[in-house]
Structure 1
Amino acid sequence: MSNVSLTISAAERVQSLIAIEGKPNLMLRLAVSGGGCSGFQYGITLDDKVNDDDVVSEQHGVKLVVDETSMSFLDGTELDFVEDMMGASFQFRNPNATSTCGCGSSFSA
C-alpha cells in the first residue's frame, strides 16, 4: 500500500491528462532522483508499465506507481494540483523534506 496520497484535485488533473493522451491504461508515476537545486528532485510522468520494485495504489480513480527507493523519500507525501493567479502546477507536501527550493520541484532530506 502506498503512503503517498493524491488530493481529488490532483487526481482529476491526472485523469484529464490521461484522457488527452487517449490511453486509459496510463498510471501516474512519482519518483525522486538526485539533482535539482536542493539535492533531490521530484519526477512526475504517465507510465503504462509496472516494475518489480514498484508500489501501486489506486486513489480517486487514478493508479499511482512509486518505486521502493523513491517511496522512502515520499512516505507521507501528499500530491496536490493547484490553480491560482500565478498558474497551475502539481505541488508536493512532503513531511520528509528538510528544505525545498523556491520552485518547489526539488528538496533536501
Structure 2
Amino acid sequence: MDAITDSVANTPVTVSARAARRIGEILKSEPTGTMLRVSVEGGGCSGFQYKFDTDREQADDDLVISRDGATVLIDQVSVNYMAGSEIDFVDDLIGASFKIKNPNATAACGCGTSFAL
C-alpha cells in the first residue's frame, strides 16, 4: 500500500451524531442488547453494497462503535473496505436513509448504497 492508502486503512470508522440518534430510535423497538450491524457485500450496481441489519450477537473480532447509546458492529472484512468512513443519517427531499461517506470508494451509484473501489 502507498502512504495515503495505508493511512486511510488505519483510520477508524465513525458514526455521526445524527446516525447515532436514528440508530437509537430503531433499536428502541428491538429486544434489549440489539445492535446495528453494517457490512459490505459484493453486488449492487457499482460492485459492492452496504448492508444494514440488527444483531444481538457480537463476534470476537467485530469492530464495535458506541456513540450516544447506539452500538454499531462491523466485521473485520467489511472494516477493510470501510476504513476512514463516516456512517451518517440524512433526511432530505428524496427520503431518509443511512449514508456512508467512504474515502476508499472510487465511484458510487445514485442510490448511495453501492460503491466501487
| TM-score w.r.t. length of structure 1 | 0.91
Deviations 1:15-63 (A, max 9, x none): 1111122x13111111001111000000111110012331223122211
> What SS does the aligned partner of 1:49 have?
coil
Q: What's 2:92 paired with? A: 84
Matching of residues 4-23 of structure 1 within 5 Å? 4-21=13-30, 23=31
Structure 1 equivalent of residue 45 of structure 2: 37
More strand per residue: 1
Q: Which runs of 5+ in 1 are unaligned?
A: none
Computed over aligned residues only, the root mean square deviation of the Cα atoms, in angstroms, reads 1.3
Gaps of 5+ in 2: 1-10
CA distance in 2, matches of 1:101, 1:24: 35
Aligned length: 107
| Percent of residue pairs bearing the same amino acid type | 44
**Runs of at least 4 residues off by over 3 Å:** none
